Structure 1
Amino acid sequence: MSEHYGKHAIVTGATGGIGEAIVRSLAATGMAVTMVGRDHGRLAGASARVEAAVPGADLRHALADLSLTADVHALAERLAEGDRPDVVISNAAVSCPVGDRTPEGLQRTLATNHLAPYVLLRVLGRALDRGPARFVVVGASPTGLARVPVDLDDLHLTRPRKLGPIPSLRPFVAYGRTKNMNTMFLLSLAERLSGTGITVNGAHPGIISGTGLGREARGVERFLGTVLELNPWRRGPGSGADTPVWLATSPDVAGRTGGFYVDRTAVPTPGHTVDAARRRRLWEESARLVGMQP
């Protein structure tokens, strides 16, 4: 573990899998960690496991349903009024049926995976004003996502046939699109926060088992998930936490921003995620969907 950076971290999706492993690693450095989750019981269970591994860990809870933009706005305002975070790691993600809509009418994968970090990090970036602070967005494989560019004309996935011919694989394709949105967003946010001392970077944790991401999978997607879980060489959540924690804590990346990392190495992302016009359009449409000014 590299020497720790700062005193307070916020981690979303903290109640299991990679998120819980990130919390455990940060707590081991002596940082206070605010764990964001949507269920009191799961937050308590994850805290107990972290405290068993890191006696004396300073853990705090923040309850929010990240699929609801109203919840995310309220969460962001509460966090902005509390202890100033030195690190914010956006890790929460879901893969759910394409037709699943939230009570606010948003496609749930889009709302949780992209719109939630869009709101949270924008609000916290504004509240922190000047750094230093580090924002880390947990994404997915740039190579694997090269063939699933974001359809900027259909963020809500109203045309599921365009996600492929196999219905049970469409949620996975939709998930991939939101992970490309993560990359587009972090690049745009890094530009907007340039010079503030707040850095924004992304990380691919690897193909990790035990994340619970595929709990709603069906058909071919469920079969592929089962094959992964049975793979004796699969990587666990602790391995998946390594690069995000390194970006959040290591002096080696102090001041670096707008990068995407795999196994602690900066890598290029697909051209469709870098394109300035596409990123601007996604930023503006996201602002409209969550009721923020672009």
Structure 2
Amino acid sequence: MADMPEDGEPQIHEGKQAIVTGGTRGIGEAIVRRLAAQGMSVVMVGRSDTTLRQAADRIRSAVPGAELRLERADLSLLRDVRALADRLAVSTSPSVVINNAAVSADIRARTEEGIQLTLATNHLAPYVLMRTLAASLKKGPARFVVVGANPTVLKTFPVDLDDLDARDARALSRFPSLRPFAAYARTKNMNTMFVYSLARRLTDTGITVNGAHPGIIAQTGLSRDARGLEKALATMVALNPFKKMPDQGADNPVWVATAPGLDCVNGRFFVDRKEATTPDHTLSPDRCEALWERSAELVGMEP
């Protein structure tokens, strides 16, 4: 059955194709399920064949006849992201691309390619994937959505453009146990800045790029390795009476990706289906362009 919007009319998107990263659990799985229920064919991206199959089985149980394509890629590895982007560029023509995949890792954790794990997964992966897909599509209609985080919380974690991979640990926080969260928060600000930069480049192409905050969500798995103060923060989230479950968290990203009234809305950020202002340090065109260029250098793309 198709999802029902507020006006009670079913939204049917038969024949349209979507791509969702981080689609095997939590918010990502809920996003895939909602899009499939609206009639879209969905490409699910996950880290392992096992988790992809298990998530697909759950989705098909909830949405009989769901049309799913499973794509395995480790989004912390640039070689996997490039290969995924190249495959999708030649085999898909998506109406919707939602980047949901994210991690919160020890700041000392680095990929085998030498990049800080949180930076690689949360920012560089969508940077490569969405740039490649936008270049292959050339023109829309298509909607790109990056799942972000609470703009109010992110205000105190501006991106250090001279230290994208968080080598200066003390600059993140005086408290070692809070540093993984601070690094995570910086990458979510990078997501927002990337949205604005890519949106400017895609003006008048019919491809729109927007950010969407899912809300305070339980059962995401982001804090499963948290310790000390970060674990205390995760516990506060778990006890928060206003927290949402993953299916509720999927509502805002899916709305941004499919709502009829947003066809030409580009370069915005949404919270609870309303446009929101992000921190000043994410709005500076000069800072956004500097991040774009430094990211291009890290991933070996032309700026």
TM above 0.5 = yes
CA distance in structure 1 between the aligned counterparts of 2:243 and 2:146, rounded to whole angstroms: 22
How far does residue 227 in structure 1 lie from its aligned partner after superposition?
Answer: 3.2
Residue 241 of structure 1 aligns with which residue?
Answer: 250
How far does residue 98 in structure 1 lie from its aligned partner after superposition?
Answer: 0.5
CA distance in structure 2 between the aligned counterparts of 1:89 and 1:184, rounded to whole angstroms: 16
How far does residue 223 in structure 1 lie from its aligned partner after superposition?
Answer: 2.5
Matched, 1:22 2:31: yes
User: In the alignment, which of 248, 271, 277 is matched to residue 280 of structure 2?
Assistant: 271
Contact preservation (8 Å) 1:4, 1:250? no
CA distance in structure 2 between the aligned counterparts of 1:268 and 1:231, rounded to whole angstroms: 24
Contact preservation (8 Å) 2:29, 2:55? yes
Q: In structure 2, the residue corresponding to 1:136 is in which secondary structure?
A: strand
User: In the alignment, which of 151, 159, 164 is matched to residue 155 of structure 1?
Assistant: 164
Q: CA distance change for structure 1 residues 131 and 81 in 2, over 3 Å: closer, same or farther? A: same
Contact preservation (8 Å) 2:215, 2:243? no
Q: How does 1:1-294 map to 2 (within 5 A)?
A: 1-2=4-5, 3-5=11-13, 7-294=16-303
Counterpart residue type for residue 272 of structure 2? D
CA distance in structure 1 between the aligned counterparts of 2:238 and 2:16, rounded to whole angstroms: 35
What RMSD over aligned residues (CA atoms) do the two structures have, in Å? 1.0
CA displacement, residues 241-261 of structure 1 (integer Å, 9 cap, x when unaligned): 001000111101111100000
Q: In structure 2, the residue corresponding to 1:89 is in which secondary structure?
A: strand
CA distance in structure 1 between the aligned counterparts of 2:74 and 2:28, rounded to whole angstroms: 16
CA distance in structure 2 between the aligned counterparts of 1:116 and 1:83, rounded to whole angstroms: 18
Counterpart residue type for residue 200 of structure 2? E
How far does residue 232 in structure 1 lie from its aligned partner after superposition?
Answer: 4.6
Runs of 4+ in 1 over 2 A off after TM superposition: 226-234
Contact preservation (8 Å) 1:18, 1:238? yes
Counterpart residue type for residue 130 of structure 2? L
CA displacement, residues 206-243 of structure 1 (integer Å, 9 cap, x when unaligned): 11001111122111212221332244542100111001
Residue 8 of structure 2 aligns with which residue?
Answer: none
Q: In structure 2, the residue corresponding to 1:62 is in which secondary structure?
A: strand
CA distance in structure 1 between the aligned counterparts of 2:241 and 2:93, rounded to whole angstroms: 42
**Aligned residue pairs, count:** 294
Contact preservation (8 Å) 1:11, 1:36? yes
Contact preservation (8 Å) 1:260, 1:267? yes
| TM-score (normalizing by structure 2) | 0.95
Counterpart residue type for residue 138 of structure 1? V
How far does residue 164 in structure 1 lie from its aligned partner after superposition?
Answer: 1.0
Query: Which stretch of the first structure deviates more once superposed, 29-38 or 221-230?
Result: 221-230
